Structure 1
Protein backbone atom coordinates (compact mmCIF):
# COMPACT_ATOMS: atom_id res chain seq x y z
CA UNK A 1 0.00 0.00 0.00
CA UNK A 2 1.39 3.40 -0.98
CA UNK A 3 2.10 6.22 1.45
CA UNK A 4 -0.98 8.07 0.15
CA UNK A 5 -3.34 5.29 1.24
CA UNK A 6 -1.46 4.62 4.46
CA UNK A 7 -1.79 8.29 5.40
CA UNK A 8 -5.33 8.89 4.19
CA UNK A 9 -7.35 5.66 4.37
CA UNK A 10 -10.25 5.79 6.87
CA UNK A 11 -12.11 2.58 5.96
CA UNK A 12 -12.01 -0.12 3.31
CA UNK A 13 -14.08 -3.19 2.57
CA UNK A 14 -15.05 -5.20 -0.49
CA UNK A 15 -17.40 -2.61 -2.02
CA UNK A 16 -15.94 0.80 -1.19
CA UNK A 17 -13.24 2.77 0.58
CA UNK A 18 -13.36 6.02 2.53
CA UNK A 19 -10.39 8.34 2.49
CA UNK A 20 -9.37 11.69 3.95
CA UNK A 21 -8.83 14.00 1.00
CA UNK A 22 -6.17 16.64 1.72
CA UNK A 23 -6.80 20.26 0.77
CA UNK A 24 -5.26 21.40 -2.51
CA UNK A 25 -5.71 18.13 -4.43
CA UNK A 26 -8.34 17.65 -7.14
CA UNK A 27 -10.79 14.75 -6.83
CA UNK A 28 -10.68 14.02 -10.57
CA UNK A 29 -8.30 15.23 -13.30
CA UNK A 30 -8.72 18.61 -14.96
CA UNK A 31 -8.68 19.24 -18.70
CA UNK A 32 -5.02 20.22 -19.02
CA UNK A 33 -1.82 18.24 -18.55
CA UNK A 34 -0.85 20.14 -15.39
CA UNK A 35 -4.12 19.10 -13.69
CA UNK A 36 -3.73 15.32 -13.98
CA UNK A 37 -2.51 14.78 -10.41
CA UNK A 38 -5.67 14.05 -8.43
CA UNK A 39 -7.05 11.70 -5.81
CA UNK A 40 -8.63 9.19 -8.18
CA UNK A 41 -5.50 8.91 -10.33
CA UNK A 42 -3.38 8.37 -7.23
CA UNK A 43 -5.78 5.66 -6.06
CA UNK A 44 -5.99 3.95 -9.47
CA UNK A 45 -2.23 3.37 -9.39
CA UNK A 46 -2.69 1.49 -6.10
CA UNK A 47 -6.14 -0.01 -6.61
CA UNK A 48 -7.21 -0.31 -10.29
CA UNK A 49 -10.83 -1.08 -9.26
CA UNK A 50 -11.35 2.44 -7.83
CA UNK A 51 -14.63 4.01 -9.03
CA UNK A 52 -15.84 7.59 -8.59
CA UNK A 53 -18.91 8.18 -6.38
CA UNK A 54 -18.80 11.89 -5.44
CA UNK A 55 -16.38 14.82 -5.33
CA UNK A 56 -15.00 17.51 -3.09
CA UNK A 57 -13.65 20.83 -4.35
CA UNK A 58 -9.87 20.91 -4.76
CA UNK A 59 -9.40 23.21 -1.78
CA UNK A 60 -11.84 21.36 0.52
CA UNK A 61 -10.51 18.61 2.75
CA UNK A 62 -12.27 15.71 4.40
CA UNK A 63 -14.24 12.53 3.79
CA UNK A 64 -14.41 11.16 0.26
CA UNK A 65 -15.89 7.78 -0.77
CA UNK A 66 -14.87 5.65 -3.76
CA UNK A 67 -16.45 2.44 -5.02
CA UNK A 68 -14.46 -0.77 -5.37
CA UNK A 69 -17.28 -2.71 -7.09
CA UNK A 70 -19.95 -1.60 -9.54
CA UNK A 71 -22.58 -2.52 -6.94
CA UNK A 72 -20.87 -0.42 -4.29
CA UNK A 73 -20.60 2.53 -6.66
CA UNK A 74 -24.21 2.23 -7.82
CA UNK A 75 -25.85 1.88 -4.40
CA UNK A 76 -23.84 4.57 -2.64
CA UNK A 77 -24.17 6.97 -5.60
CA UNK A 78 -27.93 6.50 -5.49
CA UNK A 79 -27.97 7.45 -1.82
CA UNK A 80 -26.15 10.69 -2.66
CA UNK A 81 -28.54 11.41 -5.54
CA UNK A 82 -31.64 10.71 -3.46
CA UNK A 83 -30.34 12.68 -0.44
CA UNK A 84 -30.24 9.62 1.78
CA UNK A 85 -26.74 10.40 3.02
CA UNK A 86 -26.04 12.71 5.96
CA UNK A 87 -23.12 15.14 5.62
CA UNK A 88 -21.64 17.60 8.08
CA UNK A 89 -18.89 20.08 7.32
CA UNK A 90 -17.00 22.49 9.52
CA UNK A 91 -15.90 25.91 8.32
CA UNK A 92 -14.38 29.08 9.68
CA UNK A 93 -16.18 32.12 8.31
CA UNK A 94 -15.36 35.82 8.44
CA UNK A 95 -17.09 38.00 11.01
CA UNK A 96 -19.24 37.37 14.07
CA UNK A 97 -22.12 35.12 13.04
CA UNK A 98 -24.74 34.27 15.67
CA UNK A 99 -27.10 31.37 16.28
CA UNK A 100 -28.22 29.03 13.53
CA UNK A 101 -30.34 29.12 10.44
CA UNK A 102 -31.18 27.92 6.96
CA UNK A 103 -30.09 29.26 3.58
CA UNK A 104 -32.59 28.30 0.88
CA UNK A 105 -31.30 29.99 -2.27
CA UNK A 106 -30.48 28.30 -5.61
CA UNK A 107 -26.79 28.21 -6.61
CA UNK A 108 -25.95 28.24 -10.32
CA UNK A 109 -22.86 28.37 -12.51
CA UNK A 110 -21.83 31.85 -13.67
CA UNK A 111 -20.80 31.37 -17.34
CA UNK A 112 -19.43 34.91 -17.57
CA UNK A 113 -17.00 34.38 -14.68
CA UNK A 114 -15.83 30.74 -14.64
CA UNK A 115 -15.32 28.87 -12.36
CA UNK A 116 -17.56 31.01 -10.14
CA UNK A 117 -21.09 30.13 -9.06
CA UNK A 118 -23.67 32.60 -7.82
CA UNK A 119 -26.76 32.62 -5.61
CA UNK A 120 -29.81 33.21 -7.81
CA UNK A 121 -33.16 33.33 -5.95
CA UNK A 122 -35.02 33.25 -9.30
CA UNK A 123 -33.60 29.91 -10.43
CA UNK A 124 -35.74 26.76 -10.18
CA UNK A 125 -33.13 24.29 -8.84
CA UNK A 126 -33.11 24.47 -5.03
CA UNK A 127 -30.00 24.67 -2.87
CA UNK A 128 -30.49 24.23 0.86
CA UNK A 129 -27.95 24.52 3.69
CA UNK A 130 -28.40 24.42 7.47
CA UNK A 131 -25.78 26.25 9.55
CA UNK A 132 -25.02 26.36 13.26
CA UNK A 133 -22.48 28.47 15.14
CA UNK A 134 -19.96 26.47 17.20
CA UNK A 135 -17.59 29.14 18.55
CA UNK A 136 -16.23 32.66 18.08
CA UNK A 137 -12.55 33.64 18.12
CA UNK A 138 -10.05 35.88 16.35
CA UNK A 139 -7.37 35.32 13.71
CA UNK A 140 -4.79 38.09 13.32
CA UNK A 141 -7.12 40.38 15.26
CA UNK A 142 -10.08 39.66 12.95
CA UNK A 143 -13.34 38.22 14.31
CA UNK A 144 -14.20 34.81 12.86
CA UNK A 145 -16.81 32.14 13.57
CA UNK A 146 -16.56 28.36 13.47
CA UNK A 147 -19.74 26.86 12.03
CA UNK A 148 -21.22 23.45 11.34
CA UNK A 149 -22.69 23.27 7.84
CA UNK A 150 -25.17 20.63 6.72
CA UNK A 151 -25.89 20.66 2.97
CA UNK A 152 -29.25 19.10 2.10
CA UNK A 153 -28.64 19.50 -1.63
CA UNK A 154 -25.26 19.06 -3.30
CA UNK A 155 -24.75 21.90 -5.77
CA UNK A 156 -21.24 22.80 -6.89
CA UNK A 157 -19.67 25.40 -4.55
CA UNK A 158 -22.93 25.42 -2.56
CA UNK A 159 -21.48 25.97 0.90
CA UNK A 160 -18.96 28.55 -0.30
CA UNK A 161 -21.59 30.57 -2.19
CA UNK A 162 -24.18 30.29 0.59
CA UNK A 163 -21.80 31.62 3.23
CA UNK A 164 -20.83 34.49 0.93
CA UNK A 165 -24.54 35.17 0.36
CA UNK A 166 -25.03 35.29 4.13
CA UNK A 167 -22.30 37.94 4.34
CA UNK A 168 -19.80 35.65 6.07
CA UNK A 169 -17.54 34.08 3.40
CA UNK A 170 -15.32 31.17 4.33
CA UNK A 171 -11.85 32.22 5.47
CA UNK A 172 -9.15 31.41 2.93
CA UNK A 173 -11.63 31.18 0.02
CA UNK A 174 -9.78 32.54 -3.01
CA UNK A 175 -12.98 32.61 -5.09
CA UNK A 176 -15.61 34.09 -2.78
CA UNK A 177 -13.88 35.89 0.10
CA UNK A 178 -12.38 39.40 0.10
CA UNK A 179 -8.56 39.61 -0.21
CA UNK A 180 -8.07 40.35 3.49
CA UNK A 181 -10.26 37.33 4.41
CA UNK A 182 -8.30 35.11 2.03
CA UNK A 183 -5.03 35.94 3.78
CA UNK A 184 -6.11 35.06 7.33
CA UNK A 185 -5.30 31.35 6.85
CA UNK A 186 -3.36 29.89 3.87
CA UNK A 187 -6.08 27.38 2.92
CA UNK A 188 -9.83 27.20 2.42
CA UNK A 189 -11.27 26.57 5.89
CA UNK A 190 -13.88 24.05 4.76
CA UNK A 191 -13.71 20.40 5.82
CA UNK A 192 -16.06 17.44 5.29
CA UNK A 193 -16.08 16.16 8.86
CA UNK A 194 -18.83 13.50 9.00
CA UNK A 195 -20.63 11.32 6.48
CA UNK A 196 -23.18 8.56 6.97
CA UNK A 197 -24.83 6.20 4.50
CA UNK A 198 -26.11 2.62 4.33
CA UNK A 199 -23.74 -0.23 3.54
CA UNK A 200 -24.25 -1.57 -0.02
CA UNK A 201 -24.60 -5.18 1.17
CA UNK A 202 -25.91 -5.25 4.75
CA UNK A 203 -27.84 -1.95 4.65
CA UNK A 204 -26.39 -1.14 8.09
CA UNK A 205 -26.08 2.58 8.75
CA UNK A 206 -22.40 3.59 8.73
CA UNK A 207 -20.95 6.86 9.99
CA UNK A 208 -17.43 8.06 9.25
CA UNK A 209 -15.55 10.87 10.96
CA UNK A 210 -12.48 12.83 9.89
CA UNK A 211 -10.98 15.28 12.45
CA UNK A 212 -10.99 18.95 11.45
CA UNK A 213 -7.42 20.13 10.69
CA UNK A 214 -7.99 23.84 11.42
Structure 2
Protein backbone atom coordinates (compact mmCIF):
# COMPACT_ATOMS: atom_id res chain seq x y z
CA UNK A 1 0.00 0.00 0.00
CA UNK A 2 1.27 3.46 -0.87
CA UNK A 3 2.28 5.72 1.98
CA UNK A 4 -0.57 8.26 2.09
CA UNK A 5 0.57 10.23 5.10
CA UNK A 6 0.10 13.95 4.57
CA UNK A 7 3.40 15.61 3.58
CA UNK A 8 4.87 19.00 2.82
CA UNK A 9 8.06 19.85 0.95
CA UNK A 10 10.06 23.07 1.26
CA UNK A 11 13.23 24.43 -0.34
CA UNK A 12 15.68 26.18 2.00
CA UNK A 13 16.44 29.76 0.97
CA UNK A 14 19.57 30.45 3.02
CA UNK A 15 22.54 28.85 4.80
CA UNK A 16 23.07 28.04 8.47
CA UNK A 17 19.55 27.77 9.82
CA UNK A 18 18.55 24.91 12.08
CA UNK A 19 15.82 22.58 10.86
CA UNK A 20 13.68 23.41 13.90
CA UNK A 21 13.88 27.16 13.23
CA UNK A 22 13.17 26.69 9.53
CA UNK A 23 10.05 24.63 10.24
CA UNK A 24 8.89 27.15 12.81
CA UNK A 25 9.03 29.81 10.09
CA UNK A 26 6.83 27.52 8.01
CA UNK A 27 4.32 27.49 10.90
CA UNK A 28 4.98 23.90 11.93
CA UNK A 29 4.11 24.00 15.63
CA UNK A 30 6.17 22.44 18.43
CA UNK A 31 3.27 20.09 19.09
CA UNK A 32 3.28 18.95 15.47
CA UNK A 33 7.04 18.42 15.54
CA UNK A 34 6.74 16.33 18.70
CA UNK A 35 3.97 14.25 17.14
CA UNK A 36 6.05 13.81 13.99
CA UNK A 37 8.96 12.49 16.05
CA UNK A 38 7.08 10.18 18.40
CA UNK A 39 3.89 9.17 16.56
CA UNK A 40 5.08 7.86 13.21
CA UNK A 41 6.15 10.87 11.17
CA UNK A 42 9.44 11.68 9.46
CA UNK A 43 11.70 14.70 8.96
CA UNK A 44 13.83 14.34 5.81
CA UNK A 45 16.53 16.60 4.39
CA UNK A 46 17.50 15.67 0.85
CA UNK A 47 15.89 12.27 1.46
CA UNK A 48 17.82 11.54 4.68
CA UNK A 49 16.16 11.50 8.11
CA UNK A 50 17.46 14.33 10.33
CA UNK A 51 16.68 15.70 13.78
CA UNK A 52 15.55 19.25 14.47
CA UNK A 53 19.07 20.43 15.34
CA UNK A 54 20.38 19.69 11.87
CA UNK A 55 21.97 22.74 10.19
CA UNK A 56 20.48 23.46 6.78
CA UNK A 57 22.07 24.97 3.70
CA UNK A 58 20.54 26.96 0.87
CA UNK A 59 18.93 24.68 -1.70
CA UNK A 60 18.27 21.79 0.70
CA UNK A 61 14.96 20.02 0.25
CA UNK A 62 13.07 19.58 3.51
CA UNK A 63 10.19 17.13 3.61
CA UNK A 64 7.94 16.50 6.59
CA UNK A 65 5.74 13.41 6.64
CA UNK A 66 3.05 13.95 9.22
CA UNK A 67 2.06 11.08 11.49
CA UNK A 68 -1.12 9.15 10.71
CA UNK A 69 -4.17 10.39 12.59
CA UNK A 70 -6.54 8.16 14.50
CA UNK A 71 -10.23 9.16 14.47
CA UNK A 72 -11.83 9.49 17.88
CA UNK A 73 -13.58 6.36 19.14
CA UNK A 74 -16.86 8.23 19.31
CA UNK A 75 -16.90 9.00 15.58
CA UNK A 76 -18.70 6.23 13.71
CA UNK A 77 -17.31 5.62 10.22
CA UNK A 78 -20.19 5.68 7.75
CA UNK A 79 -20.44 5.80 3.98
CA UNK A 80 -22.87 8.24 2.45
CA UNK A 81 -23.27 10.85 -0.25
CA UNK A 82 -21.12 13.97 -0.10
CA UNK A 83 -21.60 16.87 -2.52
CA UNK A 84 -17.95 17.70 -3.18
CA UNK A 85 -17.35 21.20 -4.54
CA UNK A 86 -13.54 21.08 -4.36
CA UNK A 87 -10.85 18.78 -3.03
CA UNK A 88 -7.06 18.68 -2.97
CA UNK A 89 -4.50 17.12 -0.62
CA UNK A 90 -5.19 19.73 2.08
CA UNK A 91 -8.84 20.80 2.01
CA UNK A 92 -12.32 19.57 1.20
CA UNK A 93 -15.21 21.89 0.33
CA UNK A 94 -18.69 20.38 0.55
CA UNK A 95 -22.21 21.59 -0.18
CA UNK A 96 -24.26 20.53 2.86
CA UNK A 97 -27.97 19.93 2.40
CA UNK A 98 -30.49 21.13 4.98
CA UNK A 99 -31.45 18.57 7.60
CA UNK A 100 -27.93 17.16 8.01
CA UNK A 101 -25.66 17.99 10.93
CA UNK A 102 -22.06 18.97 10.31
CA UNK A 103 -20.69 17.25 13.41
CA UNK A 104 -21.89 14.45 15.64
CA UNK A 105 -23.73 15.29 18.85
CA UNK A 106 -25.84 13.54 21.44
CA UNK A 107 -28.88 13.97 19.22
CA UNK A 108 -27.13 13.25 15.91
CA UNK A 109 -24.58 10.46 16.26
CA UNK A 110 -24.82 9.19 12.71
CA UNK A 111 -25.55 10.49 9.23
CA UNK A 112 -23.54 13.66 9.75
CA UNK A 113 -20.98 15.27 7.48
CA UNK A 114 -18.29 14.13 9.92
CA UNK A 115 -19.47 10.50 9.75
CA UNK A 116 -19.46 10.50 5.95
CA UNK A 117 -16.09 12.25 5.64
CA UNK A 118 -14.63 9.66 8.02
CA UNK A 119 -16.06 7.00 5.71
CA UNK A 120 -14.55 8.69 2.66
CA UNK A 121 -11.12 8.86 4.29
CA UNK A 122 -11.36 5.24 5.40
CA UNK A 123 -12.39 4.03 1.94
CA UNK A 124 -9.53 5.96 0.31
CA UNK A 125 -7.05 4.81 2.99
CA UNK A 126 -6.29 8.40 3.96
CA UNK A 127 -4.80 8.27 7.48
CA UNK A 128 -6.62 11.33 8.80
CA UNK A 129 -9.46 12.26 11.08
CA UNK A 130 -12.10 14.92 10.39
CA UNK A 131 -11.23 18.57 11.06
CA UNK A 132 -14.21 20.89 10.56
CA UNK A 133 -13.07 24.44 9.73
CA UNK A 134 -16.54 25.92 9.25
CA UNK A 135 -19.73 24.33 10.51
CA UNK A 136 -23.37 24.98 9.79
CA UNK A 137 -26.48 24.42 11.88
CA UNK A 138 -28.47 21.25 11.21
CA UNK A 139 -31.06 23.05 9.09
CA UNK A 140 -28.74 25.57 7.42
CA UNK A 141 -27.57 24.59 3.94
CA UNK A 142 -24.48 25.50 1.96
CA UNK A 143 -20.71 25.43 1.83
CA UNK A 144 -18.61 23.74 4.52
CA UNK A 145 -14.79 23.71 4.69
CA UNK A 146 -12.91 20.71 6.10
CA UNK A 147 -9.16 20.36 6.68
CA UNK A 148 -7.63 17.00 5.81
CA UNK A 149 -4.89 17.19 8.42
CA UNK A 150 -4.56 18.75 11.89
CA UNK A 151 -1.68 20.93 10.69
CA UNK A 152 -3.93 22.40 7.99
CA UNK A 153 -6.61 22.97 10.63
CA UNK A 154 -4.01 24.79 12.74
CA UNK A 155 -3.10 27.00 9.77
CA UNK A 156 -6.74 27.84 9.15
CA UNK A 157 -7.08 28.87 12.79
CA UNK A 158 -4.21 31.28 12.31
CA UNK A 159 -5.66 32.56 9.03
CA UNK A 160 -9.03 33.21 10.64
CA UNK A 161 -7.43 35.24 13.43
CA UNK A 162 -4.91 37.23 11.37
CA UNK A 163 -6.29 37.48 7.85
CA UNK A 164 -9.96 36.66 8.11
CA UNK A 165 -12.00 33.87 6.61
CA UNK A 166 -14.67 35.47 4.45
CA UNK A 167 -18.13 33.91 4.56
CA UNK A 168 -21.29 35.15 2.89
CA UNK A 169 -24.80 33.85 3.48
CA UNK A 170 -28.14 34.29 1.80
CA UNK A 171 -31.41 34.32 3.71
CA UNK A 172 -35.07 35.01 3.17
CA UNK A 173 -36.55 36.94 6.10
CA UNK A 174 -40.07 37.96 7.01
CA UNK A 175 -41.27 41.46 6.17
CA UNK A 176 -39.73 44.16 4.02
CA UNK A 177 -36.45 45.51 5.44
CA UNK A 178 -36.38 49.27 4.84
CA UNK A 179 -32.63 49.96 4.73
CA UNK A 180 -30.61 48.61 1.80
CA UNK A 181 -27.20 48.24 3.46
CA UNK A 182 -26.41 48.24 7.19
CA UNK A 183 -24.58 46.44 9.99
CA UNK A 184 -25.84 44.85 13.21
CA UNK A 185 -23.37 44.95 16.10
CA UNK A 186 -25.51 43.81 19.02
CA UNK A 187 -23.80 41.50 21.53
CA UNK A 188 -24.99 37.90 21.72
CA UNK A 189 -25.18 35.58 24.72
CA UNK A 190 -26.95 32.49 25.94
CA UNK A 191 -30.60 32.84 26.88
CA UNK A 192 -31.13 32.23 30.59
CA UNK A 193 -32.50 28.75 31.22
CA UNK A 194 -31.64 27.42 27.74
CA UNK A 195 -28.63 25.47 26.51
CA UNK A 196 -29.53 26.07 22.87
CA UNK A 197 -31.13 29.47 22.38
CA UNK A 198 -29.17 32.73 22.17
CA UNK A 199 -30.37 36.32 22.53
CA UNK A 200 -29.08 39.86 22.18
CA UNK A 201 -27.85 40.95 25.60
CA UNK A 202 -25.53 43.68 26.87
CA UNK A 203 -23.22 41.23 28.65
CA UNK A 204 -22.92 38.98 25.60
CA UNK A 205 -19.99 38.54 23.21
CA UNK A 206 -19.22 41.05 20.49
CA UNK A 207 -20.86 40.22 17.18
CA UNK A 208 -21.11 41.91 13.80
CA UNK A 209 -23.28 41.00 10.83
CA UNK A 210 -23.34 43.08 7.63
CA UNK A 211 -26.65 43.01 5.75
CA UNK A 212 -27.44 43.93 2.15
CA UNK A 213 -30.91 43.71 0.66
CA UNK A 214 -31.09 41.83 -2.65
CA UNK A 215 -34.84 41.95 -3.25
CA UNK A 216 -38.12 42.74 -1.54
CA UNK A 217 -41.15 40.80 -2.71
CA UNK A 218 -44.44 39.23 -1.67
CA UNK A 219 -45.39 35.58 -2.00
CA UNK A 220 -48.77 34.08 -1.17
CA UNK A 221 -49.63 37.21 0.75
CA UNK A 222 -46.42 37.19 2.80
CA UNK A 223 -43.92 40.08 2.60
CA UNK A 224 -40.37 38.72 2.30
CA UNK A 225 -36.86 40.11 1.82
CA UNK A 226 -33.98 38.25 0.24
CA UNK A 227 -30.73 39.37 1.84
CA UNK A 228 -26.98 38.79 1.64
CA UNK A 229 -25.07 38.63 4.92
CA UNK A 230 -21.39 38.79 5.83
CA UNK A 231 -20.20 37.44 9.17
CA UNK A 232 -17.31 39.19 10.90
CA UNK A 233 -17.65 37.05 14.03
CA UNK A 234 -18.80 33.48 14.52
CA UNK A 235 -21.23 33.48 17.43
CA UNK A 236 -23.64 30.58 17.77
CA UNK A 237 -26.84 31.29 15.77
CA UNK A 238 -25.49 34.79 15.06
CA UNK A 239 -27.47 35.55 11.90
CA UNK A 240 -30.65 34.03 13.29
CA UNK A 241 -30.40 36.02 16.53
CA UNK A 242 -29.53 39.30 14.83
CA UNK A 243 -32.42 39.01 12.38
CA UNK A 244 -34.86 38.22 15.20
CA UNK A 245 -33.60 41.28 17.09
CA UNK A 246 -34.14 43.39 13.96
CA UNK A 247 -37.74 42.29 13.84
CA UNK A 248 -37.28 40.32 10.62
CA UNK A 249 -36.82 36.67 11.66
CA UNK A 250 -35.63 34.20 9.05
CA UNK A 251 -38.53 32.47 7.35
CA UNK A 252 -39.00 28.96 8.71
CA UNK A 253 -36.89 29.61 11.83
CA UNK A 254 -39.42 28.63 14.48
CA UNK A 255 -36.80 28.77 17.26
CA UNK A 256 -36.35 32.50 16.64
CA UNK A 257 -39.86 33.55 15.70
CA UNK A 258 -40.04 32.65 12.03
CA UNK A 259 -43.13 31.16 10.38
CA UNK A 260 -42.96 27.76 8.66
CA UNK A 261 -45.84 28.44 6.30
CA UNK A 262 -43.57 28.78 3.25
CA UNK A 263 -40.54 26.66 4.29
CA UNK A 264 -40.04 23.99 6.94
CA UNK A 265 -36.58 25.12 8.09
CA UNK A 266 -34.69 28.38 8.47
CA UNK A 267 -34.17 29.84 4.99
CA UNK A 268 -30.43 30.34 5.50
CA UNK A 269 -27.66 29.24 3.14
CA UNK A 270 -23.87 29.65 3.16
CA UNK A 271 -23.37 30.88 -0.40
CA UNK A 272 -19.69 31.84 -0.49
CA UNK A 273 -16.38 30.93 1.16
CA UNK A 274 -13.25 32.91 0.39
CA UNK A 275 -9.80 32.47 1.91
CA UNK A 276 -6.11 32.15 1.15
CA UNK A 277 -5.15 28.52 0.62
CA UNK A 278 -3.04 27.50 3.63
CA UNK A 279 -0.46 25.70 1.48
CA UNK A 280 -0.36 27.41 -1.91
CA UNK A 281 -1.06 30.94 -0.70
CA UNK A 282 -3.50 31.37 -3.60
CA UNK A 283 -6.83 33.11 -3.00
CA UNK A 284 -9.69 30.62 -3.20
CA UNK A 285 -13.33 31.54 -3.85
CA UNK A 286 -16.15 29.01 -3.75
CA UNK A 287 -19.80 29.72 -4.52
CA UNK A 288 -22.81 27.48 -4.01
CA UNK A 289 -26.33 27.52 -5.44
CA UNK A 290 -29.32 27.83 -3.14
CA UNK A 291 -30.92 24.62 -1.91
CA UNK A 292 -34.12 23.69 -3.76
CA UNK A 293 -36.50 24.66 -0.95
CA UNK A 294 -35.02 28.14 -0.72
CA UNK A 295 -34.91 28.55 -4.49
CA UNK A 296 -38.61 27.70 -4.67
CA UNK A 297 -39.36 30.61 -2.32
CA UNK A 298 -38.05 32.98 -4.99
CA UNK A 299 -40.29 31.56 -7.73
CA UNK A 300 -43.86 32.42 -8.62
CA UNK A 301 -43.83 35.60 -6.57
CA UNK A 302 -47.40 36.67 -6.03
TM-score, normalising length from structure 2? 0.65
For the pair shown, the structure with the greater C-alpha radius of gyration is: 2
**Corresponding position of 2:121:** 47
Distance 1:81 1:54, change over 3 A: farther
Answer 1 or 2: which has greater strand percent: 1
CA contact (8 A) 2:102 2:136 kept: yes
Per-residue deviation, 1:177: 1.9
What corresponds to 1:77 in structure 2? Answer: 157
**Higher relative contact order by CA 8 Å / sep ≥ 6: 1 or 2?**
1
Give the 3 Å change call, closer, same or farther, for CA 82–167 of structure 1 in structure 2: farther
Unpaired stretches in structure 2, ≥5 consecutive residues: 1-78, 123-127, 295-302
- Tell me, what secondary structure is at the counterpart of 2:81? helix
Aligned length: 207
Q: Tell me by how many angstroms 1:51 deviates.
A: 1.9
RMSD, aligned α-carbons: 1.6
**1:49-88 C-alpha deviation (Å, 9 max, x unpaired):** 2322221111101110111122221112332344611111
Matches within 5 A, 1:1-214: 4-5=81-82, 8-32=83-107, 35-48=109-122, 49=128, 50-82=130-162, 84-98=164-178, 99-120=180-201, 122-123=202-203, 125-178=205-258, 181-213=259-291, 214=294
- The worse-fitting range, judged by mean Cα deviation, of 14-23 and 82-91 is 82-91
Provide the C-alpha distance between the structure 1 equivalents of 2:204 and 2:176, rounded to a whole number of angstroms: 31
Structure 1 window deviating more from structure 2 (82-91 vs 189-198): it is 82-91
Whether the 8 Å contact between 1:16 and 1:73 is mirrored in structure 2 is: no
TM-score of the two chains, using structure 1 as the length reference: 0.90
Following superposition, the deviation at residue 110 of structure 1 comes to 1.7
